[in-house]
């Protein structure tokens, strides 16, 4: 048996995987655990991928990504939030996961503190630890799951390097409003913190969804195609931000991912042809359905975006206890402890057919009664 690095010993297998392993023991469960869309990759994008393969676009691309896609995304970003990035301020990555990996590798030194609003996307704390950093949690349970700027300021020490934001957020569905982002940007700028803004769920916003780029031009904005175009397996995303950081990330990409998948990059050139509204409308309706069904029995924060519902376990149960009881009734949900230093909540992903959603709600309503 090889002696493994201490680095890899700092992380453990994602709690979500443990739930998926449990799921294998269930026959045809009501599965509200998987964080991906249930619609197909749009036809235009599939056709563009097939055409790319047939046209021989199967080789390595430039490390930074193909120029056509970078140009397209630069125009999209400027239209979205007004920040005009130069051609050296964008890098095409292997999903937002790839972008997070490169960014944290490029930014975090041993002992650096990284402030992460809690609840958080599972990957954040593990990647921070992998690179020797120390996650510092900014509790948001009593501030409507939006990180408070004064609380951020109180957590800052001489070792604080970075703030890792996510809006629309997984698992809460919270979208940070303009005033909120402005206040967080002001504190970050005052203390010289780097900011990573994971905006992967921008395509699923049921209210106005500003970008951190509007308030902090030096923020590193991460975007991706996985969720918006249901391309989770194609591994495509991008990072926009200051030239020196993008250059450092590009250097690491050169010796790791090499480039984002060529076929996915060419296929993404067809994304502007896709009408996203029907999917957005469908998920807004699902959000209304599940929030409406559960609201009488559960304490929940109605989501503004993404496709998750975050609710408190009933009857003084922990999220983990509720999940055990749900699994006994063939329902799969994720315990909040996977996404948080607290264990009081649970997460539902509502990207399933309405009958499944209703069936899941029925189980949860029964469990709330005890
Ligand atoms: N950030 C958040 C908040 C996510 O929920 C996910 C996927 N679950 C990712 C990043 C990673 O997405 P991908 O690597 O597929 O782009």
Cβ 320 vs Cβ 343: under 8 Å: yes
The ligand 1 atom nearest the CA atom of 98: 14
Q: What residue ranges line ligand 1, CB within 6 angstroms?
A: 35, 95-97, 121, 166, 170, 198, 200, 224, 226, 232, 237
Q: Return the pLDDT at 18.
A: 74
What does each of the 370 residues of the chain score in pLDDT, given as a tens digit? Answer: 889 999 999 988 766 677 777 777 788 899 999 899 999 999 999 999 999 999 999 999 999 999 999 999 999 999 999 999 999 999 999 999 999 999 999 999 999 999 999 999 999 999 999 999 999 999 999 999 999 999 999 999 999 999 999 999 999 999 999 999 999 999 999 999 999 999 999 999 999 999 999 999 999 999 999 999 999 999 999 999 999 999 999 999 999 999 999 999 999 999 999 999 999 999 999 999 999 999 999 999 889 999 999 999 999 999 999 999 999 999 999 999 999 999 999 999 999 999 999 999 999 999 999 8
Cβ 101 vs Cβ 319: under 8 Å: no
- How many angstroms separate the Cα of 267 from the Cα of each of 40, 225, 279? 14, 11, 19
Do 307 and 238 belong to one domain? no
- The last residue of one of the domains, among 249, 273, 297, is 273
Q: Return the pLDDT at 119.
A: 98
Which residue's alpha carbon is at the smallest distance from atom 12 of ligand 1?
A: 96
Cβ 119 vs Cβ 140: under 8 Å: yes
Do 18 and 56 belong to one domain? no
The answer to the question of residue 2 being in a domain is no
Q: Per the structure, how many domains does the chain have?
A: 2
CA distance 230 to 237: 12
CA distance 297 to 299: 7
**Helix intervals (H) in 82-209:** 95-107, 123-130, 149-155, 178-190
Cβ 11 vs Cβ 129: under 8 Å: yes
Q: Return the pLDDT at 26.
A: 85
All residues at 6 or more sequence positions from 250 whose CB lies less than 8 Å from its CB, including other chains: 63, 64, 91
Mutate to test the pocket of ligand 1, among 73, 102, 168, 170 (most ligand atoms within 8 A of CB): 170
- The last residue of one of the domains, among 273, 292, 317, is 273
Do 250 and 334 belong to one domain? no
The ligand 1 atom nearest the CA atom of 35: 8
Do 250 and 184 belong to one domain? yes
Looking up residue 119, the CATH number of its domain turns out to be 3.40.640.10
Do 227 and 91 belong to one domain? yes
The answer to the question of residue 3 being in a domain is no
Cβ 311 vs Cβ 348: under 8 Å: yes
Do 294 and 258 belong to one domain? no
Do 199 and 133 belong to one domain? yes
At 309, phi and psi to the nearest 5?
A: -120, 135
Q: Return the pLDDT at 22.
A: 75
Do 120 and 165 belong to one domain? yes
Domain hosting 142: range is: 43-273
The answer to the question of residue 111 being in a domain is yes
The ligand 1 atom nearest the CA atom of 100: 10
In terms of phi and psi (left: phi > 0; alpha: psi -120 to 50; beta: otherwise), the region of 56 is: left
Return the structure tokens found at 340.
């948080």
Q: Return the pLDDT at 13.
A: 74
Do 181 and 316 belong to one domain? no
Expressed in angstroms and rounded, the spacing between residue 179 Cα and the centre of ligand 1 is 25
CA quadruple 291, 293, 298, 303: dihedral, nearest 10: 0
From the list 236, 306, 246, the residue with the least C-alpha distance to 270 is 236
Looking up residue 314, the CATH number of its domain turns out to be 3.90.1150.10
Do 252 and 355 belong to one domain? no
DSSP three-state, residue 195:
strand
| CA within 13 Å, CB half, 44 | 10
- The last residue of one of the domains, among 239, 273, 307, is 273
All residues at 6 or more sequence positions from 316 whose CB lies less than 8 Å from its CB, including other chains: none
The answer to the question of residue 301 being in a domain is yes
Q: Return the pLDDT at 277.
A: 96
Q: Return the pLDDT at 50.
A: 98
Do 34 and 106 belong to one domain? no
Q: Return the pLDDT at 14.
A: 62
| H-helix or E-strand spanning residue 161 | strand 160-166
The answer to the question of residue 317 being in a domain is yes
Expressed in angstroms and rounded, the spacing between residue 135 Cα and the centre of ligand 1 is 18
| H-helix or E-strand spanning residue 65 | none
Expressed in angstroms and rounded, the spacing between residue 96 Cα and the centre of ligand 1 is 6
The answer to the question of residue 1 being in a domain is no
Do 180 and 321 belong to one domain? no
């Amino acid at each position: 048996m090889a002696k493994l690095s201490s680095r890899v010993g700092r992380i453990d297998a994602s709690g979500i995987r443990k739930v998926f392993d449990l799921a294998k023991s269930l026959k045809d469960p009501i599965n509200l655990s998987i964080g991906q869309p249930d619609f197909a990759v749009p036809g235009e994008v599939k056709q563009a991928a097939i055409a790319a393969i047939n046209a021989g676009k199967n080789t390595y691309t430039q490390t930074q990504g193909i120029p056509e896609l970078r140009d397209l995304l630069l125009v999209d970003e400027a239209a979205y939030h007004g920040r005009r990035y130069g051609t050296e301020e964008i890098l095409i990555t292997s999903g937002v996961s790839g972008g997070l990996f490169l960014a944290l590798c490029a930014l975090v030194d041993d002992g650096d503190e990284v402030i992460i609003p809690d609840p958080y996307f599972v990957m954040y704390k593990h990647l921070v630890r992998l690179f020797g950093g120390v996650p510092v949690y900014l509790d948001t349970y009593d501030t409507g799951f939006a990180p408070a700027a004064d609380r951020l300021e109180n957590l800052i020490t001489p070792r604080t390097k970075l703030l890792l934001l996510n809006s629309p957020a997984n698992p809460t569905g919270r979208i940070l409003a303009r005033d909120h982002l402005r206040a967080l940007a002001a504190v970050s700028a005052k203390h010289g913190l780097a900011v990573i803004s994971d905006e992967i769920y921008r395509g699923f916003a049921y209210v106005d969804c500003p970008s951190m780029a509007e308030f902090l031009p030096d923020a590193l904005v991460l975007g991706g195609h996985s969720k918006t175009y249901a391309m989770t397996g194609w591994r495509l995303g991008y990072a926009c931000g200051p030239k020196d950081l993008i250059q450092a990330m590009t250097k690491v990409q050169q010796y790791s991912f090499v480039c984002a998948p060529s076929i996915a990059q060419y296929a993404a050139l067809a994304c502007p042809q896709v009408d996203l509204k029907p999917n957005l409308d469908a998920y807004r309706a699902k959000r209304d359905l599940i929030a409406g069904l559960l609201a009488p029995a559960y304490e929940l924060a109605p989501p503004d975006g993404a496709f998750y519902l975050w609710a408190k376990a009933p009857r003084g149960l922990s999220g983990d206890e509720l999940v055990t009881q749900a699994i006994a009734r063939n329902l799969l949900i994720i315990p909040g402890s996977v996404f948080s230093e607290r264990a009081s909540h649970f997460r539902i992903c509502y990207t399933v057919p309405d009958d499944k959603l209703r069936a899941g709600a029925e189980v949860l309503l029964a469990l709330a009664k005890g």
